[in-house]
């Protein structure tokens, strides 16, 4: 139940190749994502609420270090207590510690039964509150997604055995009604499931298709504890609407992670400035709520200041020491996560 791949393999192509085995790779970010980039950012996706993030599915990686040394972080067993957990060190390092050339991935069994449903709520706070209650009730949803009125609706997907799926649906419907939710609209077959779910997976691309000359989409994410999810989404949505631009909220609300996507004219400095302020306010708010500046997108160049704010100088010093030890000349993706020493 594992497979060895190289970094340029698409997760969608991988699942297509193994679809007749009864197994699948459950980490599902954007449709164009490839395994190497997914390792670099410790990405996740709609399935994270049940299956976890990339770090949970990487058995080992083969890495070329800055001096040309080739290492393999561990062997093939699913569990090991042998030495430092170097695999997790490289997963999420954004290419700053070495060049990943091969990855061993765990695979999961395809659930025998899956159901997809849509339910509407009177406000985005009602939707987020219902999502948090579903998680506290222990319902094993495979995914639970939020799309505001600009994007779509709330999409829930259930998976497991047939009897288990029916029981879970009944409990979620009960919780949703307590939070003002409407009737659940269920898909009738696998084709409808794919159609409905693709609307969520392709949300960003749909927004990109609306761009005119000079327009850009600013898409970013944060994550907070589930207990603060309704608060931050409600405030952030209101501030985003006040921009007067085409913008929407969507997210993996089952694990407290959500995104803002804002369409703006990059040729107008004042418009970009107000979008930047809105996004920065959202990140600051997440940190105030004991959250993180990025649930799955990574730090890159744009969130280095927030990383320092989130982790503090001592933690960053440890990270910098690791970087210095493995890449003393700062050759690997210089400037990402941390500034190159002056």
| 3-class DSSP assignment, residue 179 | coil
What was the pLDDT predicted at 271? Answer: 93
Give the burial class of 163: count Cβ atoms within 10 A of its Cβ; 0-12 exposed, 13-18 middle, 19 or more buried: exposed
Confidence (pLDDT) at 211: 75
| pLDDT tier, 145 (very low <50, low <70, confident <90, very high otherwise) | confident
User: What's the pLDDT at 151?
Assistant: 60
Q: Give the per-residue pLDDT at 132.
A: 87
Which of 146-160, 185-199, 245-259 shows the lowest mean pLDDT across its residues?
146-160
Q: What is the pTM of this model?
A: 0.87
Whole-number average pLDDT of the chain:
89
Name the phi and psi angles at 263, rounded to 5: -90, 125
> What is the average per-residue pLDDT within 35-42?
97
The yes-or-no verdict on residue 107 having pLDDT over 80 is yes
* Mean pLDDT (whole number) for 121-143: 88
Q: CA 117, CA 122: separation in Å to the nearest integer?
A: 17
Whether the predicted pLDDT of 157 surpasses 60:
no
Alpha helices (H) along the chain: 11-17, 35-41, 48-51, 86-90, 124-136, 162-178, 190-201, 203-208, 229-241, 269-288, 304-311, 313-326
Cβ 283 vs Cβ 303: under 8 Å: yes
- Using the predicted structure, report yes or no on whether residue 11 has a pLDDT greater than 50: yes
Q: Give the bridge partners for 59, in sequence order.
A: none
pLDDT of 81 higher than 90: yes
At residue 157, the 3 state secondary structure works out as strand
pLDDT band of residue 124 (cuts 50, 70, 90) is confident
């Amino acid at each position: 139940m594992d497979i060895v791949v190289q970094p340029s393999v698409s997760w969608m192509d991988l699942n297509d190749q193994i679809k007749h085995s009864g197994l699948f790779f459950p980490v599902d970010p954007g449709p164009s994502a490839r395994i190497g980039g997914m390792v670099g950012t410790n990405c996740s996706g709609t399935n994270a609420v049940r299956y976890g993030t990339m770090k949970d599915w990487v058995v080992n990686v083969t890495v070329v270090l800055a001096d040309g040394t080739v290492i393999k972080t561990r062997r093939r067993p699913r569990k090991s207590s042998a030495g430092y957990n170097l695999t997790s060190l490289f997963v999420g390092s954004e290419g700053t510690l070495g060049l990943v050339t091969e990855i061993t991935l765990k695979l999961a069994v395809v659930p025998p039964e899956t159901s997809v449903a849509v339910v509407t709520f009177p406000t985005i706070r009602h939707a987020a509150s219902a999502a948090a209650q579903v998680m506290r009730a222990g319902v094993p949803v495979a995914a639970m997604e939020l799309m505001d009125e600009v994007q779509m609706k709330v999409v829930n997907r259930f998976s497991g055995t047939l009897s288990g799926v029916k029981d879970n649906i009944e409990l979620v419907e009960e919780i949703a009604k307590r939070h003002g939710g409407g009737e659940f609209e269920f898909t009738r077959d696998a084709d409808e499931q794919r159609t409905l779910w693709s609307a969520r997976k392709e949300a960003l691309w749909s927004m990109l298709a609306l761009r005119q000359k000079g327009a850009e989409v600013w898409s970013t994410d944060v994550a907070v504890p589930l207990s603060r999810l309704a608060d931050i989404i409600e405030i952030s949505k209101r501030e985003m609407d006040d921009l007067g631009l085409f913008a929407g909220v969507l997210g993996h609300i089952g694990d407290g992670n959500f995104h803002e996507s804002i369409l703006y004219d990059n040729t107008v400095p004042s418009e970009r400035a107000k979008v930047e302020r809105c996004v920065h306010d959202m990140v600051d708010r997440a940190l105030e709520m004991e959250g993180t500046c990025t649930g799955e997108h990574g730090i890159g160049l744009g969130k280095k200041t927030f990383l320092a704010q989130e982790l503090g100088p001592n933690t960053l010093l440890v990270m910098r020491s690791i970087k210095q030890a493995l890449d003393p000349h700062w050759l690997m993706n210089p400037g990402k996560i941390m500034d190159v020493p002056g």
